[in-house]
Amino acid sequence: MLKNALLSIKKNIGRTILLFVLMCVIANLVIAGLSIRSATSKSMDQVRTSLGSEVTFSYNMKGMMENREKGEAMDSAIQSITTAMADQLKDLEYVEHYNYTVDVSVSSDDIDPVETNTLDEETSNQNNMPNGKQPRMLDQNDFTVVGNTTMAYLSDFTDENYVLKSGRLLTEDDADTTNCVVESNLASDNDLEVGSTFKVKATNADDEDISVTLTVVGIYEIETTSQMGGMMSNRQNPMNQIYTSLATAQKLNDSTTNISSAIYYLDDPDHIEAFKELAEANTDIDFETYTLDANDQVYQRSISSLENMESFTNVFLCVVIFS
């Protein structure tokens, strides 16, 4: 039998070589297709990991602007987010971590801000106003206190736009403290170091001052930021941001219940829509007034392209194998 097979091969050497070449080509095409599919799958996993899975619970500004009455002030139309609302979402399926945030405008007699504009420029701008009028100062506070449940998941730090230089970041263990983390230029200008203390104050709706003495436990340095170009005041300067616990910021904000926003970190970007559906079905939150924003447009575009590539590869493999 083997002898007959060898004789057949020798007799039809041309056809045998042609079949062998064809088999090699088909094998290489199949291997190439499998490699492309494997690479596509790995790329999809990398996209999921790199883009993250953050969902932000905040006030629906777009809906408010569409529904507010003509001429109505924004601050009278906006409704606050409360910790009671945010707590309804933190224990839902797919949530691995969460962080509540409160931003408060404050001033201080103990430290000076990193100046955004020179005094000469400010004076010149005021003198150039028509009829000698002075510009309206909407907020004369020089600092922004940013209160968080924890700093462990803040994107500026996880993406290394901000880098810790000394001390530590705030964690959930700092919830009942007045510890803070400050930027290195602010620390340098005011001779602050880990262990230094200074007082900040805010003014409530009754024009009463609320003061808190903060203790520096960490100093960070800004490596890159997208905020520098649009600054108009010291308070908007990221170097004048002071990170504190959520409770400290709420005290300065004169409210133990209100927050600015809440961020939920899910286990996988694929679960974002499922999380939103759970939120609508299992909470009493009015999602016409409030919104869950995943900001996942980049992820959706990337995944869509990779899924198209994967489908094309599957079709290609089927054609090669069964043709």
pLDDT tens across 84-133, in order? Answer: 999 999 999 999 999 999 999 999 999 999 988 765 444 444 444 444 44
pTM (2 d.p.): 0.71
Strand duo 81-82 + 258-259: pairing: antiparallel
Q: How far apart, in whole angstroms, are the C-alpha atoms of residue 144 and residue 115?
A: 14
Provide the 10 A C-beta neighbour count for residue 211.
13
**Between helices 2-11 and 13-51, what is the axis angle to 10°?**
90
Most confident of 234-248, 267-281, 291-305: 234-248
Given a contact cutoff of 8 angstroms between Cβ atoms, the answer to whether 110 and 213 are in contact is no
DSSP per-residue codes, 247-290: HHHHHHTT-SSEESEEEEEES-GGGHHHHHHHHHHH----TTTE
Q: How far apart, in whole angstroms, are the C-alpha atoms of residue 220 and residue 281?
A: 41
pLDDT tens across 17-56, in order? Answer: 777 777 776 777 667 766 766 666 666 556 555 556 889 9
Q: pLDDT confidence of 6, banded at 50, 70, 90?
A: low
Q: pLDDT confidence of 235, banded at 50, 70, 90?
A: confident
Q: Which long-range contacts (CB under 8 A, 24 or more apart) does 195-198 make?
A: 198/108, 198/110, 198/111
Percent of the chain with pLDDT over 90: 47
